[in-house]
Every structure is written in C-alpha cells, then in structure tokens.
Structure 1
C-alpha cells in the first residue's frame, strides 16, 4: 500500500507548503472524519480529506499539471461561489485534476490565468516578493499624460495601500481614450483600476496578456484552455528556483 504525507497531498490540491502546514496545525483538516494536526500524517488512496466544508477523496498522482486559460468576461476566478453562476468550474470541467488558479482576474477582466495543483508555484506566481511580471493591455477613458504615467511608476497611496506599476507605456491615443501596456509585480485587489482611478482615468477594458513566461498567444480565443508544455513549461518551472533562492538567502 502506498502512503503520502498529508502535507504533500495538500500541496497537490494547490496549497503552498506553508499554507498546508498552517491549516493542519490549526485543526482545519480531517482525515476520515478525524481531526489531524500533524502535517506528516500518512494518508492513502481512498482516504477522505475534509477541509472546512469541502471533501476530497485521496487520489495519488505522480506529478503536477499546468494549464493556461484565456478567461472570458463574465466569469469569476473562483472554483465555487454561491453568489455567482459563472465560475471557473464551468470553464475547466474537462480538467480531471483538482487544479487552482494562480491568482485572480476580476469578473470583467479577460486573459491569461494559470491553473495548477503545484502549490509552491502558485505561491511564487502570486507573491510580490518573487517579482514575477504580469502584463496587461488597458483601455482607459481620456487622454493620459506622460506626467500621469510617471506618478504610476513612482507609486501612489490609495486607501492605505501602496500601488505601483513596474512599467507603463502608451500604445494608442484616441480622441477620448488611451490604450496602454502595463507591467505589474504586486497583486493588490483591483490594483490596475485603482491606479488609473487615482489619476482620474476609468479603466473600461482590461486584458492580461502574460503571466511570467506564459503568454496569451498559447490560448488566443476567450475560454480556450491548453496544457502548458515544452519550453514554456521549463521557463515556468524555473520560477520555483526563485523561492529556493529567497528561502536560502533569508535562512
């Protein structure tokens, strides 16, 4: 009979190692209806794992999986939301593995969303400390001035949060609109929209065209899903080394 550490299995569900330890130590995980507080507890195929109100039957798998979705408008970036009918669950129903999104896109925002069961990679992709770039194309109301772009690159304080663009440039200037390319590192809620609101421009369209090495060209059509493989996967997995280096530097 094959066993796996509870912590490792939770990582396969998409939790980072630190988060897996945290929820187990805090008594939030049950195995076969029994509370378990040891991350090193052995579980086997067929065991029932309960986390809050969600239950999973242990199915051991040998490797992580990586997908990219071109999220269309009108869908929330949650697998389950009692207030929303259109969730990621509808879009990824053909993916058999229990993957989770690496971050979120607002309901009205489209583009690249990475899905995986690799909790450590999700942590690297979503934590500002690893500085993984997310690139957006935004259409905003009004004509944006270069002095305003400087404000965004220098950073602004909005509702107690420090918001900043790593880079921003104008692609097209219309009579009453501007289209821009924006590079972000941090992942504050509604960050791009809040930045432009701060300088007096409403974002009317927002699309994420890349997250790290994963580009929307892999899934050009809204709703399209593709397994990440080959060169792009190698580049994506290199990002996990950032975590190892950061941990070694801080230890």
Structure 2
C-alpha cells in the first residue's frame, strides 16, 4: 500500500526518506533502502514507495516497530534524582525541588510520575506533555524496577510472598518479580519489579512483610535503565532510548509491557 492511499494521495508534506534522515535514523540513501525493504510504517501502514510524503507534525513513523521522534522541539531527559529532593518543579514548602537539574535546557521540563523525597533513582523529565500523561496513567502499567535495602534478613518465603500478593490498606498488591540480592549486617537487598503507580508502594509492601525500607532506588523505568549515571546528574536520552520510550507511549494500553 502506498502512503498516497493512506493519507489521500496529495503532494503536500516532506519526502519520507528526508524525514528519516533529519530524525537521525540513517542517511538518506540508507533510509530509502529501509523504505523499499518494507521496514517503515506511517500511521501503522507500511510504506514502500520512495516518492511518499508525510506531514511530520501530524504523522507517526516507526522503523522496524520502533517509534521515530519527528518533533525535534521535544526534549527527553533522564535524571538520577538524589534523596532529599521532592518530585516537583516548585515546592510550596521551600524544599529542594527539580528545578536545579533542568538549568542546562531552555525548555520548561516536567517530571513523568514521581519518586518520594527519600527515594533516589531514575526520573524522566520532558516537555512532551502528551507522553508524560500517557506514561504516568495507571492503564499503561509501565514497569519499574527498584532495589530496596531493608531491615532484617529476608527469606525465600518472604520473596515468594511478595510475588504471590499481600493485602494493604488500599487493596491487594503483588510484585511482578522479586528476588533477594543478598544479606549482611542485619539488612537485605531486594529487587522488586512492579507496574503499580500507587503511592510509596515499595515501602508499604516491605513494611507489610516485616522488613521496613532503609534505602530505596529506582533503577529502571519502562525501557530505560539508570546505568552508571551518578546521583544528581541528568542527561538527554539517546536516540535508541527515545525510540523505545516513544514506542511504549504509542502502544495500546491493553497490551502487556515486557519488563
């Protein structure tokens, strides 16, 4: 099927291979090859004709199923939020907030979701309000991975209990995955994978099984991994990371994300 059939067969817009090259997907020649090979879709329709034109401001493009960022005015930043900082751009109580980490970018950035003040780790900052709303919405169930240092020696039975499910004051909850990373000096390290967006959920879960959290860090948010980014540092997402994040944001909320 041609793009002309998909969007009304007119000559408006920009040639698809030029759009792909401008977006940093590949050179124009390689982009043409991707199109001919049927690896490019526009609004869900495979496009194979090199004369095809699109409207970058309206159309959604993906290559090999990975979304392409066409709007270069959108900024996507990963922050390793330190403890003691609240997840807001301006705190009415005067506590340290996220503004200090956005000074390097001219755009007004906002956080996707929240981490409580005493939890450190991966937080996404963006000026893409639509993406922020989608990824923060409970129906999307974006997977998050946390590492918790907790009081006491966690047993395999407790780990099993976390995945089987426990009852909290606001309803039952179960971790998608849980594993014990080790124990020493009266504390344990537990890795929890969750898709719940409920407030302070990891702390409440661990307290409910008798192991209050001492320290908590979020290592992963959807397809994004914190890696070696130091606490208090922020960086722009790579092209691959942006593609993965946009792909996640465009999926049907009924689809299950693969952790």
* TM-score, normalised by the number of residues in structure 1: 0.69
2:145 is the counterpart of 1:135: yes
In the alignment, which residue of structure 2 is the partner of 1:240? 249
2:221 is the counterpart of 1:211: yes
Which residue among 166, 170, 179 is the counterpart of 1:160? 170
In the alignment, which residue of structure 1 is the partner of 2:117? 107
CA distance 1:62–1:226, shift in 2 (3 Å): closer
Coordinate RMSD, CA, aligned? 1.9
Q: Distance in 1 between matches of 2:170 and 2:84?
A: 29
Once the two structures are superposed, residues 62-110 of structure 1 have per-residue CA deviations (whole angstroms, 9 ceiling, x without a partner) of 6321000010111001111111330011222222211211111111111
SS in 1 for 2:178: strand
How big is the shift at 1:246? Answer: 4.3
2:240 is the counterpart of 1:231: yes
How big is the shift at 1:230? Answer: 1.5
In the alignment, which residue of structure 2 is the partner of 1:20? none
Q: Distance in 2 between matches of 1:188 and 1:162?
A: 11
**Structure of larger gyration radius:** 2
In the alignment, which residue of structure 2 is the partner of 1:192? 202
Which residue among 143, 157, 161 is the counterpart of 1:151? 161
Quick check: 1:138–1:207 contact (8 Å CA) kept in 2?
Answer: yes
What number of residue pairs does the alignment pair up? Answer: 185
In the alignment, which residue of structure 2 is the partner of 1:125? 135
CA distance 1:62–1:215, shift in 2 (3 Å): closer
* TM-score, normalised by the number of residues in structure 2: 0.67
Q: Which runs of 5+ in 2 are unaligned?
A: 1-70
SS in 2 for 1:239: helix
Q: Which runs of 5+ in 1 are unaligned?
A: 1-60
Quick check: 2:87–2:97 contact (8 Å CA) kept in 1?
Answer: yes
Q: Distance in 2 between matches of 1:71 and 1:110?
A: 5
How big is the shift at 1:242? Answer: 1.4
In the alignment, which residue of structure 2 is the partner of 1:92? 102
Q: Distance in 2 between matches of 1:104 and 1:78?
A: 8
